[in-house]
Amino acid sequence: MVMAAMTHGLFNPFKGGRIPAVSSTIKHNPTARIHPCKASWQELAGVLIFSAIPFTAVKAIANSPLAARLQERMQGTKSLAMKEAPEREAATQRARKESYEVLHARWAMLAALGVVIPELLDRFGVVDFIEPVWWRVGYAKLKARI
């Protein structure tokens, strides 16, 4: 019965019929040997080594006393990190505020140069600006409603 199912197709109880075997779709050659697996022994050994053995090793470590010690150490590290979390958050907020202060100070220094340099260049005659004084430019724009 099993050999008949392999050569003539498999019975599928869900569909109520037979599933054609792969060998039945290829030209039938009675002298040809059909190998169920075409992989070499090196490929099969690689599959065994790189899939089955690591999972077995992990399971063995997980069920050992070493795993219990590692889990205790991890819990201790986690609880210590949870105690230090508010302090780290406060330090992060301080650092963020200080970085914003430095950023704004740099922009303020650039703005100061933008105020002073046009007036100095106009005063020494290097460049002839229409209006070198910065606040008069803003006032004129407000008056003109540009």
Q: Which amino acid is at 26?
A: I
Known binding positions:
101, 104, 106
Known binding positions for chlorophyll b:
106
Known binding positions for chlorophyll a:
101, 104
CA angle 49-55-59, nearest 5°? 140
CB 21 within 8 Å of CB 3: no
Q: Nearest-CA neighbor of 7 among 37, 31, 39, 25? A: 25
Residue with the two structure tokens 């803003």? 138
